Amino acid sequence: MVRCILSMLSLVLVLSVPGTALAGEADYAVVHLEGGLSLTAPQRDRFGIGGGGALTAFRAIGTHFAIGGRLRAWMLRDGPPPADSDLVDPGRGGLGSISLIARLGFPPKRNRAWGVGLFVEGGGGGAITGTLLRATVEGAIGYGIALGRFVLAPVVRYVQVLQPDGPRQLDGRDARLVMLALELHDLRRPRTRAPRTESAEERPVLRLDDRDADGVVDLEDECIEAPEDRDGFEDEDGCPDPGAHPAPTNGGSR
């Protein structure tokens, strides 16, 4: 479980590194405000309503699919102590989790921006509740609404915490939470990788040297050490043409 959590934390860090997006991809940071309660006993009997927040770093591929890492922190109100003296009173409930999330979006035709319109998501990871590490799974459905440069989305989310069995635990049954959430992200400022440009060191340099100063650059000069004599015969090759082809004068022809 520890390795799983560390692996997902590494993913979140990778998605947060500038310049890692490939062409056609974009990165989004999504902020979540969540509130909810336990659906099933015994957690429903031992804890009150709760709430918290989450942050997801998404890597969007086009407008339909995204994958990301999510960090969450939650608290549940304390409820009445258990009637069974063999069970430990849990006090307030806490949940800290890190999850790998996949999201599938269905944007409307009138606005194809990422996060706008209906979306569903699912994922899983690891969590700390009390002093123990536990596995979690979650799923959600939401609808993103474009508000200027932002997208605001109401979301209904289900989270299940897989509880271990043990004599000191409140109960061996899984905790099931339903959450109502609002999430927000910036629509107009996705972080994309800029096209690669050649540096001055990488860019080829066209040299226009003219070693013999005859007006024909060395790249085109067939005789770079001997200047062209400009006698009207093959003056473009950069080679002198001695004797046989004198330059014409105003009073006569060659």
SS3 sequence of 160-217: EEECCCCCCCCCCCCEEEEEEEEEEEECCCCECCCCCCCCCCCCCCCCCCCCCCCCCC
Domains of the chain: 2-186 (2.40.160.20), 198-246 (no CATH)
pLDDT score at 59: 92
End-to-end CA distance of the chain: 95
Residue 205's contacts (CB-CB under 8 Å, 6 or more residues apart) are: none
pLDDT score at 198: 54
Q: Are 38 and 44 in contact (CB under 8 A)?
A: yes
pLDDT score at 118: 96
For the chain, strand residue ranges (E) read 25-38, 47-61, 65-78, 93-106, 117-129, 132-147, 150-162, 175-186
Residue 165's contacts (CB-CB under 8 Å, 6 or more residues apart) are: 172
Taking phi first (over 0 means left), then psi (-120 to 50 degrees means alpha), and beta for anything else, what does residue 249 get?
Answer: beta
pLDDT score at 142: 97
pLDDT score at 55: 96
In this structure, what DSSP letter does residue 54 have? E
Rounded CA Rg of the chain: 35
Q: Are 174 and 135 in contact (CB under 8 A)?
A: no
pLDDT score at 62: 83
- How far apart, in whole angstroms, are the C-alpha atoms of residue 214 and residue 228? 6
- How far apart, in whole angstroms, are the C-alpha atoms of residue 122 and residue 102? 6
pLDDT score at 66: 94
Residue ranges in the chain modelled with pLDDT below 50 = 1-23, 168, 252-254
pLDDT score at 219: 73
pLDDT score at 214: 78
pLDDT score at 153: 96
pLDDT score at 13: 45
